[in-house]
Structure formats: C-alpha cells, structure tokens
Chain A
C-alpha cells in the first residue's frame, strides 16, 4: 500500500525480505545498513529472540532521493523465517509493495525454500495480493559457501524449483560478503516504483 503525499511530494514504499529461516534476510539489511550508512540516518530496528533470531521483524528506512519530482522513502522489512511465526509474517506483509525472496542455496534447504515460497503465496493471498502480480525478485543467497566445500544447489536447479512459473529477476548473492545485495535492492526498488507509477496513472 504505497502512500503518496502530494503535499510533501513524497512516496513511501514498503519492501519485505521473505524466505526460510536462517536464509540471510537480516544479513541483507545489516549489509545495506553498514554499506549505505551515510544515507541512512536511523538505526536498524530489530526485534529478536534471545537466541538472536528475528522474532517479529527488522526494519530499515532510508531515502533514495528523487524519482520524477517525488522524494522516495523506502522501508525495508524482514519477516521471521521460522515456520512457527506465520502470524507475524502475515502482519508484516500488510500493505507490502514489493518482495525480495531470499532463498538459501544450500542443498539441504531445498524443501524449506519451496515451503517458504508457497507460504509467501498463501500469506499474500490473505491480503488479496497475487504472487504473480506483485513486484518480486529472487535472491539465491550463500553462494560463497561453495568455496568451503558445502554442497549448494546449482542456479539451474534453484531456477527450476522456484522460478519456473514466476519468471521474475533472480540474482546469485552472498549477503554476508555483500555480493549482489545492492543489485537485488536496486532491482526491487525499480520494479516497485514502476508498479506504483502504473497504479497511480
């Protein structure tokens, strides 16, 4: 539910990082926060459990400057990935404008990725949103683990398993190293702005 303030000439976009638990959603936001610290005036807000897992959401607001005369404020959220927190995932998705799905490239996580993507589709539907229509980008995270000999799913397998029907932009990434974190973010902002513009016409 993008909000457009004609008085301040400002657009607020809500982008949610979704995906299985321990997949790197929070790490994406932490990297963005540290990398773009000169632009981001506020702290990363995190509601965590004692075990340092996301309990409710992480939140990072920042300005990306002007697009067509409008100041664009992007608000990044993560959801808790753990299966048991579905009620909070549904809450965080309220009013979402764009989604980054952070998939875990590790071979052992194959089913969890699929389960989480299916869960995203169901939770979007509770807000009357269609996964095939909402701006969506896939990020295949943890590619750096290959160097440590950890078995990873190939990009072809990830694409086949997650993106064969969606056919959305996808990126190989390492949130920990920062590889393609900014690229993913840029892509989802572009897609979301285009979608909001088309709605406002």
Chain B
C-alpha cells in the first residue's frame, strides 16, 4: 500500500500540531505511520532530534508493545509513556495506521499533555480520513 497526502492535508496537520501541542509547551511532535515513515514533524526550535531514527524505533517499539498486549489478551495498552529525568516521550495511536509521538519536559503534567494530544488526534483523524484532492484518494 502506498499513499499520498496533499499539501492542504499536510498543512492542516502541521497547523494542529503547532497550535494545539507546540504552542502549549510540548517540545517536539512527530506524526508517523506504522512503517516508520514521517508524515509531519515539528519542534519548538530548542532541541533537534534525529527524527528519522526516532520514527523507526518508535514504530518498532509500538509494534512490539502491541504484540505483547495481544499475547496477554488485551487489544492495546491505553497509555504508552516513558518518563525521563528532563524529557519524557508519549505515544498515541491515530486511527489504525498512524502514531503520534510527543516529547515534553518535566514542567508539563502528563494529564494536560494527554488531554491536548487527544484533542489534536480527533482533528487529525478528520484530515486523514478526508480524500486527497490532488490524486482523488489518499490510499492507493
């Protein structure tokens, strides 16, 4: 399966990630697909991460954790979160094929971050479900 997102879709996603997450204090966000491809990545300009490697590892990690969930009879684990001294990382599934990675500092509460992430996932889903105007349909 190959798929395309047009400029409007990417711009729409970038806008949501910027306004709802980066401007609320999240350091870095990356939207990827489950193959580890990057759809969009934004940060607050203070820290640069190797997003391509991060995306590959996140997709692998998410896949491994999902498989573990199924092995113990769960559909998925609802909270996927790694806490660091200064930076933490959170993963949320977006529809079936995408994953939103958020990196945030110790000054932000996990609850608030999850709230903002859930809101933006709702908005992003609408964009991902909308047909791509350039090619007629996003999934080919």
Contact = CB atoms under 8 A, between A and B. Distances in A.
Interface of A: 1-8, 12, 14, 42-43, 45, 47, 56-57, 59, 61, 73, 75, 77, 87-88, 91-92, 94-97, 196, 199-200
B3 A3 contact: yes
Contacts of B97: 1
Contacts of A96: 35
B60 interface: yes
Chain A CB within 10 A, most for which of B4, B11, B35, B52: B35
Interface in B51-106: 52-53, 56-57, 59-60, 63-64, 67, 97
Main SS of the interface on chain A? mixed
Chain B facing A: main interface SS:
mixed
B64 A91 contact: yes
9 closest A-B pairs by beta carbon, nearest first, are A95-B35, A3-B37, A91-B63, A7-B10, A61-B52, A2-B2, A12-B37, A4-B4, A7-B7
A200 B5 contact: no
B51 to A, nearest CB: 10
A6 B7 contact: yes
A43 B53 contact: yes
Contacts of A88: 60, 64
B67 A94 contact: no
Contact of B60 (A7, A92, A200): A92
